[in-house]
Structure 1
Amino acid sequence: MSASKPSTPERWATTTHDWALAVDETHLAHVRADPRYAAGGVEHLVLEVLAYADEEAESQGRVGHVVVTRHDDGSVSVADDGRGTDTRFDDAGRPVRKPVMATKDVRFFDAAEPPALPDGLARRGMSTVAALSTWLEHTNRRRDGSWTQRYEHGVPATELVELPPSPGTGTTVRFLADPDLVRRTGLDGGALHGFEMLDVVLRDER
């Protein structure tokens, strides 16, 4: 469905996430309470983000370019050059971004045999990254607009904020993993380069 076609989230088909559910706090709390979702450390959370960029690149039949940056404050950002996270407009003209951070990915989270990421651990979805992060900032740039939003443990801490126009499209996810839940792991292993449709560059701001 086109982002410019008016409608309501309740009418939009669920493909990866339920558009009608903006936040699922029970799901987010479940992720935080179960140590299995944090087992792979920070590197696994980065792989969860990269998996979406890989899907985006494959859907476009192209190699996607991604920059993974380790920042001075301990956070990590993953910036891709895809189309930007799906964002649509409701009947009132308000932007609604697919709730990938605050609700579960219906394909993977409850699957008995989810696909494995390059580190060998199960893929469970982007919401695990948000739930296990002290804070996360999700910025997407699309042809019809750009927006950003901040989350704290997966719960939106701000509204969806419109950004000035910028060249190009893509999605940037920057997060600070909760040190009480997620162990610090290196990002230098081959796992980051284990996606067939991605060219990943690792940078260090520190």
Structure 2
Amino acid sequence: MASKDLRFFDFPEAEVLPDGHARRGMSVVAALSEWLVHTNRRLNGAWAQRYERGIPVTDLEPVEVDGTTGTLVHFKLDESLGSVTLPTAGDLARLGMIWPALEIEVVDRRTG
């Protein structure tokens, strides 16, 4: 997650996802974030790892198993990027229609 995924950067034939955008991977989100915590929950355990500006700052660490499965990503965009256009509720609703099994929950915890 912390390194450039060469399969999808500057590659005109990059896979296009159902939303019409080229596949870029979580490495982009990690690299453009001040911090990011990625948690994976599976039937056999759950683990999390923290990144700061795309670099892992913790090892993969076990977290409490809660009986759920899936992936959870918390992040704070790097403010040095300037103005960033966030997806609208409509954008997220369209993703939900394209991928019905995808559950999206957005919690905006910005202050000010």
Structure 1-normalised TM-score? Answer: 0.44
User: 1:151 pairs with 48, 51, 61, which one?
Assistant: 51
Determine if the alignment matches structure 1 residue 171 to structure 2 residue 71: yes
Residues in 1 aligned to 2:82 and 2:30: alpha-carbon distance in whole angstroms: 12
Q: Quote the residue 2:31 is aligned against.
A: 131
Summarize deviations over 1:127-184 as a string: whole Å, max 9, x none. Answer: 0100011110011111111111110111111111111222111111111000112523
Q: Quick one: structure 1 residues 160 and 182, their matched pair in 2 at CA, closer, same or farther if it must change by over 3 Å?
A: farther
1:35-70 alpha-carbon deviations (Å, 9 max, x no partner): xxxxxxxxxxxxxxxxxxxxxxxxxxxxxxxxxxxx
User: How many angstroms apart in 2 are the aligned matches of 1:202 and 1:136?
Assistant: 15
CA offsets 1:95-144 (integer angstroms, 9 cap, x no match): xxxxxx113335422421322673x6543221010001111001111111
Q: Give the root-mean-square deviation of aligned CA atoms.
A: 2.5
> Please, which moves more after superposition, 193-202 or 133-142?
193-202
Q: Which has the higher contact order (CA 8 A, sep 6+)?
A: 1
Q: Cα distance 1:148–1:125, how it changes in 2: closer, same or farther (>3 A)?
A: same
Please tell me the residue identity of whatever aligns with 1:161. Answer: E
Q: Answer yes or no: is the 8 Å Cα contact 1:132–1:182 preserved in 2.
A: no
Partner of 1:49: none
Q: 1:200 aligns with which of 100, 104, 109?
A: 104
Higher-Rg member (1/2):
1
Q: How does 1:183-194 map onto structure 2 within 5 Å? A: 183-194=83-94
Structure 2: 5+ residue stretches without partners: none
TM-superposed CA distance for 1:202, in Å, is 4.1
Moved >6 Å (runs of 4+): none
How many residue pairs match? The answer is 105
* 3-state SS of 2:81 partner: coil
Taking the TM superposition and a 5 Å limit, the aligned residue runs for 1:17-96 are none
